Structure 1
Amino acid sequence: MTETTDQRLTGTLGPGAIVFMVVAAAAPLTVVAGSVPLGMALGNGAGYPAMYASAAVILALFAVGFVAMTRHVPNAGAFYSYVEQGLGRGPGLGAAFLALATYTAVQGAVYGYLGFAANELFVSYGAPSLPWWLWTLVAIAIAGLLGFRHIDLSGKVLGVLLIAEIAIVLLLDLAVILKGGSDTEGFSTGVFQLDTITAGAPGIGLMFAIAGFIGFEATAVFRDEARDPDRTIPRATYAALAVIGTFYSVSAWAVISGWGENAAVAEANANPGTMVATTTENYLGSAAGHVVQVLLVSSLFACVLSFHNVLSRYFFALGNANVLPSRLGRSHPRHHSPHLSSLTQTACAAALLLLFAATGLDPVTEVFAWLSGAATLGILMLMLLTSIAILVWFQRSRADNRFWQTRLAPGLGLIGLALSLIITLQNMPLLVGGSQTLALTIDALLVLSVVAGILLAALKPSASTALLENTE
């Protein structure tokens, strides 16, 4: 087998399969059951569904430049490849390290929540209570096994899990619509009223909404395994944004309508963790409430499996670039998967979660909350860097002179992302339990990851230039 074959991934993924993996990473049921009540309680109440539409618009503007540049960056490294093309080797490697930190954070957050949710599920059926980290290790092992195999297998597993979790939420949405909303107020109209949308803390609401989209940009990571990358990646990116944005907006509106605006806000403040399960029981019966519990666990697993695949491909691309050990940049001779990168990612995830368990951190209020906050900030930093790189590259290269695709839309997206980043920084203590010290520590670690990449580019220039050489 030649060296070239050793360092390439293969697949026949179409837009639908990639959308499945990207939407699975967004964990739709987890967002509806977890983020929607919190966004209402801490954000702008009955106007919160509008924040998903606002987030989708900001990210769609970003995506215009992102997909326009995709054909000029034929590399599975995604964000860091774009940043290196536009801003140079140092910022490119800085973005690569920031991406690793960000996706590791979001995966660790969900693994913590998954261990807790799995234990609660089995206890509810009479099983003995076990440490949350045992369930987490089981999930890590399964994700590692699937990640070792060809990407098509993960795509099929994610497809089944995703259809199941979306189906139960759509059934709830339909039940609320057919009943006409709550008995006292009918359908919620707050999402269409400016005074309701801007009430409370809409900035915090927008922050929670953007967090629900984390992972949509990973379409470009699967470039080497797409059937026709230049057409598949743009279609998958826009489709993922449309599906996620519409699903979240409608489902959040349906949950509010199911209670009535005042009662929904009160319930979100009193019982955010069980609000959606209770709503499902009210409209679809107690059996459906149990189904939601089961599907919440499968939703969390689908999320970590998707991010496992994304992280493995980052390790693979960095191995190909000689930034990380070159062995990580080799694919399996039969499965054509980044098998060594997958094994490395599995070991790293297990070590991180065992560290959290050894220090006695709570899997939800600390592991999930803290790492989710770090991931939200990290993804905004990454997209901001990428937006700047896209604008600079098109201005310098003149490879595409379409004004909307290469200047106006990316510029508007840059403004929206910058405002969102400022809002997130201001509210970071809220995401990490009110600790200003912890918030500043997370900020510093993310910045240091960028600095580490820049320093590596200076100390080992051959590693960073390989990123561009591998795109040829």
Structure 2
Amino acid sequence: MSESVARTQIPAPEESALAQRTLGVPALVFLIIAASAPLTVLAGGATTSFAVTGETGVPVGYLALGIILVFFALGYGRMSTYVQNAGAFYAYVAAGLGARQGIGTSFLALVTYNAMQIGLYGVFGFTASSIIGDVIGLELPWWVWALAAWLLIGVLGINKIDLSAKVLIVIVSLEFVVVIGVSLLSFGVAPEGISADPFLPMNWLTGSLGALLAFGIAAFMGFESGAIYSEEVKNPKRSVARATYIAVGIIAVFYALSSWAFAIGIGPSEIVAQSQEWGPDLMFVFLEQQVPVVVANLAAALFLTSIFAAMVAFHNAAARYFFSMGRARVLPQYLGATGAQNGAPVAGSMTQTALALVFIIIFAISGTGSEFGPLYPVMTMFPWLTNAAGFGMVLLLCITSVAIMRYFGRDPHNHPLLIRTVAPLVAAIGLGVIAVLIMLNFDVMIESEGFSALVVIIPGVIIGSGIVGLIWGEYLRVKRPEIYQAVRDANIG
């Protein structure tokens, strides 16, 4: 086997080592799926997609995206057996395309994961304020509940990863129970009968197909995160690949079936209009009409914990990127510090926590007296940051696909044609098309009426972060060649 594909484990001093051999495949699958938040996708993502696209073919969008991401996962999973690093995208791109490109990718990934995690505080705060206010009459502003979640996530982040995994296993399991229950109830109600109407070409092979894919990709955010935990799993050469394949399959099929069932429960001819009227509340309105109010309230509470689970998962991912970049000295070295007893990326976690606090404060102040009233965080903080993150994730996946193709292409005799060329090429093309579609539909995604500067600014920040990273990589090459060379050597770029 050539040097370019020698199996590597990024060396790290003891004080900069994550907890070793902590996670098994089941725990890793739950960590991945938690970021995709099954209940949040059905209640929020699917209804939004029905409403905005005006099409019933939302389930087909999930299946199409699943197929593209299966091709990505084939190369991504195999890559995880050769390079284990908490900064997965950064390490893979450095190995495939070079250290400068890897550093540029690390900046892009860091901004993407932080944007997703922080943006979720907006919807969490609003949802908590609404649910708790309705149920027990305690009226508090959204940012109070956002800060409560922020504190709990901060505590989980500086503890051993298996604590977060245990919390997420419970939450995600309950989410699956609720979504399956809603699906079965939907088939039982079926006011227009059970049909394959949402899968018919006339309902998705239209001018809205691009919007279906652009909105649907957010449901898969986090599926790639298995590789981020590659230094903490029991068997990184197998566990990451297996967990990624399982997660992609579950996410694609489960979301397609549950969104189809929900459309049947509301009625294919009504699902678009009802989604436009009620938005994310539609699922709870449906439940209130079919089950005792206590059951509907329980589902609403689990919707809140679903968002919380996603926030924990993205916090962990962002913390590990800070850790990986600090350990490599691409960012200040103190970010590579871990807990002496638990191996948690303490410095990275606390940095992400501090960054989230800054944004919560900014949006809390800026929303004072806003015309949006209590809707302010879900009209600004949530869509702006999470849609930016969705765009950033598609770019990351596309770039990584090219890097994987280049990496395995150096040693073609040891890798099947499907893995080294076909799968990553199909993924790169498909993801590139989705990135363009997101750009074309960005005004719709942030619900902008007419032209808005945000349509340029938000994607510009994402693209700009990668460009800044490339410039920083070139600076390190010229001014700090020992750091640049270490990144290059560690990842066999």
For the criterion TM > 0.5, the same-fold answer is yes
Give yes or no for contact 1:29–1:165 (8 Å, CA) kept in 2. Answer: yes
CA distance in structure 2 between the partners assigned to 1:238 and 1:142 by the alignment: 31
Contact 2:81 2:237 in 1 (8 A): yes
Q: Which residue of 2 aligns with 1:448?
A: 464
**What amino acid is the match of 1:401?**
H
Q: How does 1:86-235 map to 2 (within 5 A)?
A: 86-177=96-187, 179=188, 181-183=189-191, 185-199=192-206, 201-235=208-242
Alpha-carbon distance in structure 2 between the residues aligned to 1:225 and 1:290: 37
Paired residue for 1:334, among 318, 337, 341?
A: 341
Deviation at 1:71, TM superposition (A): 1.7
In structure 2, which of residues 425, 432, 439 is the aligned counterpart of residue 411 of structure 1?
Answer: 425
1:192 CA displacement: 3.0
Aligned twin of 1:374: 388
- Tell me the distance in 1 between the aligned counterparts of 2:198 and 2:109: 34
Distance, in Å, in 1 between the alignment partners of 2:138 and 2:415 is 63
Provide the TM-score with structure 1 as the length reference. 0.95
User: How far did residue 198 of structure 1 move?
Assistant: 1.7
For 2:296, the aligned partner's letter is G
Secondary structure at the aligned position of 1:273 is classed as helix
Q: Distance in 1 between matches of 2:364 and 2:100?
A: 35
Aligned-pair CA distance for 1:45: 2.1
Answer with 274-283 or 347-356: which moved more.
Answer: 274-283
Q: Which moved more, 1:229-238 or 1:398-407?
A: 398-407
CA distance in 1, matches of 2:290, 2:70: 34
Give CA deviations for 1:439-472 in whole Å, capped at 9, x if unaligned: 1111221121111111111111333433344459
Q: Which residue of 2 aligns with 1:290?
A: 297
- Worse overlay, 196-205 or 313-322: 196-205
Mapped partners of 1:186, 1:285: distance in 2: 24
Residues 384-433 of structure 1: CA distance to partner in whole angstroms, max 9, x if unpaired?
11111111122224473311111111111111111111111100111223
Is 2:416 the counterpart of 1:402?
yes
| Aligned counterpart in structure 1 of residue 43 of structure 2, from 33, 44, 49 | 33
TM-score (norm 2): 0.91
Task: State whether structure 2 residue 78 is matched by structure 1 residue 68.
Answer: yes
Aligned twin of 1:466? 486
In 1: Cα distance, 2:62 partner to 2:199 partner? 13
User: Distance between the aligned counterparts of 1:338 and 1:368, measured in 2?
Assistant: 26
Q: Secondary structure at the match of 1:45?
A: coil
From the superposition, tell whether residues 391 and 44 of structure 1 become closer, same or farther in structure 2 (CA, over 3 Å): farther
CA deviations on 1:318-372 (whole Å, 9 max, x unpaired) are 0110012212212211111111211111111111221122222711011111112
CA contact 1:373–1:432 (8 Å) conserved in 2: yes
Which structure 2 residue ranges, 5 or more long, are not aligned? Answer: 1-10, 371-375
* Corresponding residue number in structure 2 for 1:22: 32
Does the CA-based 8 Å contact 1:48-1:202 persist in structure 2?
no
C-alpha distance in 1 between matches for 2:348 and 2:86: 14
Count of residue pairs the alignment pairs up: 468
Q: Is the 8 A contact 1:148 1:339 kept in 2?
A: yes
Do structure 1's residue 269 and structure 2's residue 290 form an aligned pair? no
Per the alignment, residue 6 of structure 2 pairs with: none
Pair 268,373 (structure 1): closer, same or farther in 2 beyond 3 Å: same
Letter in 2 for 1:5: E
Where 1:46 maps in the other structure, the secondary structure is coil
CA deviation vs aligned residue, 1:242-273 (integer Å, no higher than 9, x gap) = 11112111110111010111121220121112
| Equivalent position to 1:6, from 4, 15, 20 | 15
1:3 and 1:382 map into 2 onto residues whose CA distance is 25
Instruction: Supply the distance in 2 between the matched residues of 1:288 and 1:468 (Cα, whole angstroms).
Output: 55
Deviations 1:134-168 (A, max 9, x none): 21111111111011010000000011111112211
CA distance in 2 between counterparts of 1:405 and 1:427 reads: 32
- Opposite residue 485 of structure 2, the aligned amino acid is T
CA contact (8 A) 1:102 1:378 kept: yes
Match of 2:373? none
Cα RMSD (Å): 1.7
Checking the alignment, whether the CA contact within 8 Å between 1:320 and 1:470 is kept in structure 2 is no
2:80–2:230 contact (8 Å) kept in structure 1: no
How far 1:197 sits from its partner (Å)? 2.2
Going from structure 1 to structure 2, the CA distance change for 1:66 and 1:270 (only over 3 Å counts) comes to same
Structure 1 residue runs of 5 or longer lacking an equivalent are none
**Is 1:42 matched with 2:58?**
no
Aligned to 2:5: none
| Counterpart residue identity of residue 331, structure 2 | L
Q: State which drifts further: 185-194 or 102-111.
A: 185-194
Cα deviation 1:205-246 (Å, max 9, x = unaligned): 111111110111010000011000010000000111111112
Instruction: Provide, for residues 110-150 of structure 1, a one-character-per-residue CA deviation record: whole Å limited to 9, x for no partner.
Output: 11110111111111123332221121111111111011010
